[in-house]
Amino acid sequence: MAAFTVIEHDEIGSGGVASWSETGISASYDHLYLEASMRSDRVSAEDQFHVRLNGSTDADDYSSTRLTQEGSSVDSGRYATGDFGYWAYFHQPAASAVADTFGALTMWLPNYANTANFKQAFISSSSGSTSGVGVAVTACLFHSTSAVDQITVTPLNGPNIVQYSTFTLYGVTGA
């Protein structure tokens, strides 16, 4: 049976933060799982967030394939290595979205401490905005054999993740 251990739980305080990051992640778990409830203060109905591992900004480290639906619009996309120095397009509510609406983001990072292979991640996100509800699922590949010891989440257009946003990182064993 899988055991989930809280590595870190953070609630963003007054004034917000430019990004959320957990560093020095122990390699003692089998997998990592991140749950976030967040919103940015971008002057718009929604913002896009990006995820980086190990502080890498090298575009050759990241590739992904996503499926999205917002209202009645369906889209997909493939982002190859060299496109961005992060995984992107996880839509979340922003300043002009319905008041007090927060989006959800989850990330499953199996075998994150393995140093023989690239790392996979599966990210799902949902947001509510004045134009409707958006959902996305994204399959990601981190093109590095280094164990993952840092995760950073940042608004793409920013400037801040707002107060009351929460981030909980779990270490998973036995799964």
pLDDT at 130 over 60: no
Span 33-39, average pLDDT: 96
Place of tokens 């957990």: 22
**CA–CA gap between residue 19 and residue 37 (Å, rounded):** 13
- How would residue 14 be classed by pLDDT, with cut points 50, 70 and 90? very high
- How would residue 133 be classed by pLDDT, with cut points 50, 70 and 90? low
The per-residue pLDDT for 132 is: 59
**CA–CA gap between residue 62 and residue 67 (Å, rounded):** 17
The per-residue pLDDT for 48 is: 84
b/e map of 82-117 (b: 16 or more CB within 10 Å)?
eebebbbbbbbbbbebeeebbbbbebbbeebbeeee
pTM above 0.85, yes or no: yes
More confident call, 119 vs 81:
119
Place of tokens 């940042």: 154
Would you list the domain boundaries of the chain? 3-173
Instruction: Let me know: does 135 contact 27? Beta carbons within 8 Å.
Output: no
Nearest to 19 by CA among 149, 159, 136, 150: 159
Span 151-157, average pLDDT: 92
For the stretch 49-101, pLDDT in tens is 899 999 999 999 999 998 888 777 788 888 887 778 888 877 788 888 888 88
Options 2.60.40, 1.10.3470, 2.60.120, 1.10.540; CATH for 3-173 is 2.60.120
Nearest to 91 by CA among 44, 150, 142, 151: 44
- How would residue 128 be classed by pLDDT, with cut points 50, 70 and 90? low
